[in-house]
Amino acid sequence: VKHQGRLLTGSRADADDAGGEGAKIDVHGCKTVDMASSFGKALLEFTFIVMAAITLLLGINAAKSKAAGKVLFPVTFVTGISSIAYFSMASGGGWVIAPDCRQLFIARYIDWIITTPLLIICLGLVSGVDKWDIMALCLSDVLMVASLAAGALTVGNVKWVWWFFAICWLLHIIFSLGKSWAEAAKAKGGESSSVYSKLAGIIVITWFLYPIVWVFAEGFGNFSVTFEVLIFAILDVISKAIFGLILMSGANTGYEAIEHAGRGSVTPQLDVRTWRGRQHRDESPPAGRLGSVVGLEMLEWTMVEVGPRKAVGDVRSARGA
């Protein structure tokens, strides 16, 4: 098997040269194997640096407050795990030779199967959907990534069956994010709707492109491994690093606005409809005193809930002392 002009025999020295110390060469009877070039390795190293830097930035901002941490810690783990995966690939590990005689980066799929559900959780926190809705989309996401990984490890018609399964799970995710989750974010109000629209737009577009790139890379093999590394690295940076930076921009408007918008808080507002005092008929009731005002015969007031919900009801106080 040739690796950058050199014949690989499966020895320890060849394994070290091709895939890092201790890497195994599984050639599947291939005469040549498409491997990432030195430029591809440089791309992996650069993406690792970008992901690591964004992780540090997100982590610093996540530690500023409890509200910031709740919103930012999941995406901080996303870029952190991704940086580890890229370090593994850049250092010569995390890959095998697929049956179609291509270098297959297993570390990439391990990264995706962990980090993409975390991105779903981030969107769920912003939109305010139910935890069961978040769990359902996370499961669809895991099945999508697992299907693509299985397809990359097979040849023939079975490969495309796995790809079809992945597309089915992807469509469930896209339709949910674009409909029910978007409606929930809109109902939540405040900054949530605006932030959610940006984040969901990034996820829908980039996740739609992943399986298309897969078709021409690990599907038909039209893209070289180096070009595959380039395209997937760009998509990863956009869907994870840029995603995190947009979420971090909530610092300008306050994370509490995203975390608490639409939950509602009950605030009493007095609406005096009838005021008939025996002694002070022309006076208004002192603020904050209900039922203890001398001369108060009847006070009608309303509890109003701030947020998307309607008024919770009228409370009537009987004759005061």
Q: What is the mean pLDDT of residues 200-227?
A: 97
Whether 105 contacts 44, CB under 8 Å: no
> pLDDT class for 179, splitting at 50, 70, 90?
very high
pLDDT digits (tens, 9 = 90+) for 267-321: 334 344 444 444 444 555 444 444 444 343 333 333 444 444 444 444 444 444 4
> pLDDT class for 258, splitting at 50, 70, 90?
low
* pLDDT value, residue 116: 98
Q: What is the mean pLDDT of residues 64-89?
A: 93
Q: In angstroms, rounded to a whole number, what is the distance separating the alpha carbons of residues 101 and 221?
A: 9
* pLDDT value, residue 311: 41
Q: In angstroms, rounded to a whole number, what is the distance separating the alpha carbons of residues 192 and 183?
A: 11
Whether 190 contacts 198, CB under 8 Å: no
Q: What angle do CA 63, 67, 72 make, to 5 degrees?
A: 60
Q: Which residues of 278-289 are buried (b: 16+ CB within 10 A; e: fewer)?
A: eeeeeeebeeee
> pLDDT class for 163, splitting at 50, 70, 90?
very high
